[in-house]
């Protein structure tokens, strides 16, 4: 009775971990869709140096993979399907390596990177990496947005050279942001480091716990079947 109760507890605990992993996959996939279809509004919550499109695809693919992994893990735990449990054990063990290999950036997406970086400048009121002098032609995103002149068709073309009402650039509404985006990004990372580390540790804990429980339950089913065959 004790071993049977322990087996049931392990089974439902593994189901819970896979359910959490399933919801993590939903969150990642939703974030990927959000970045693809609303990249400007997403970037307003924090800067990024990655090309936005590969990052969104990585989140989307990883989220869908996590959802499928969590779903089959839940099904394997409840129905005690050995092949599914073995798959979960194997996939969870190599998932981090796969994500690291797939996270290589494609530097050919220059347009996506420019859109992302210009959005960072506009939302965080910074210009260039170290100073505004990093730019040869200062983009509109470096200027105070209240002083820009552009029509509705040009409003979202942040890479164009800015046209300011004051030709000499002395108007406060036409001044270029003097702070480099490097400092803004460093501040954002410093403020959010505990949250980022907590999320990484939580995901790693779920993955390791799921892998361990899957291995334990998989081996338990094999032993249980061997004992059953022995008595029969």
DSSP 8-class letter at 169: S
Q: Where are the domains of the chain?
A: 2-110+182-231, 128-177
pLDDT for res 107: 42
pLDDT of residue 165: 53
Residue pair 52/42 in contact (Cβ under 8 Å)? The answer is no
State the pLDDT at residue 61: 77
pLDDT at residue number 122: 79
Res 186: pLDDT: 75
pLDDT at 65: 74
Q: Tokens representing 188?
A: 């954002």
Note whether 79 and 37 are within 8 A (CB): no
Residues 6 or more apart in contact with residue 102 via CB below 8 angstroms: 58, 61, 62
- Token digits of residue 73: 């893990």
Question: For position 34, what pLDDT does the model report?
Answer: 73
Alpha-carbon span 75 to 231, nearest angstrom:
28
Task: Collect the ranges in the chain with pLDDT lower than 50.
Answer: 1-2, 39-51, 86, 88-89, 92-93, 96-109, 147-161, 166-169, 223-232
Residue 76: its pLDDT value, please? 64
pTM of the complete model: 0.39
Q: How does DSSP classify residue 80?
A: T
Give the model's pLDDT for residue 100. Answer: 38
Residue 156: predicted pLDDT = 41
What lies within 8 Å, CB to CB, of 130 at 6+ separation is 180, 182
């Amino acid at each position: 009775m004790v071993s049977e109760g322990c087996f049931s507890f392990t089974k439902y605990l593994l189901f819970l971990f896979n359910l959490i992993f399933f919801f993590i996959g939903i969150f990642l996939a939703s974030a990927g869709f959000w970045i693809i279809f609303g990249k400007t509004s997403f970037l307003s919550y924090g800067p990024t140096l990655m090309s936005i499109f590969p990052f969104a695809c990585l989140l989307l693919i990883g989220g869908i993979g996590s959802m499928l992994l969590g779903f089959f893990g839940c099904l394997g735990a409840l129905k005690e399907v050995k092949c599914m449990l073995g798959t979960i054990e194997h996939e969870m063990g190599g998932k981090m390596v796969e994500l690291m290999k797939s996270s290589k950036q494609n530097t050919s997406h220059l347009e996506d990177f420019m859109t992302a970086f210009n959005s960072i400048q506009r939302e965080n009121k910074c210009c260039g990496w170290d100073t505004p002098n990093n730019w040869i032609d200062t983009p509109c995103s470096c200027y105070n947005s209240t002083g820009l002149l552009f029509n509705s068709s040009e409003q979202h073309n942040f890479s164009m050279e800015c046209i300011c009402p004051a030709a000499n650039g002395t108007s406060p509404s036409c001044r270029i942001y003097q702070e480099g985006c490097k400092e803004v990004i460093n501040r954002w990372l410093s403020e959010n480091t505990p949250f980022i580390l907590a999320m990484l540790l939580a995901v790693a804990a779920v993955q390791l716990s799921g892998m361990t429980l899957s291995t334990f339950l998989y081996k338990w089913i094999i032993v249980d079947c061997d004992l059953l065959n022995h008595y029969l």
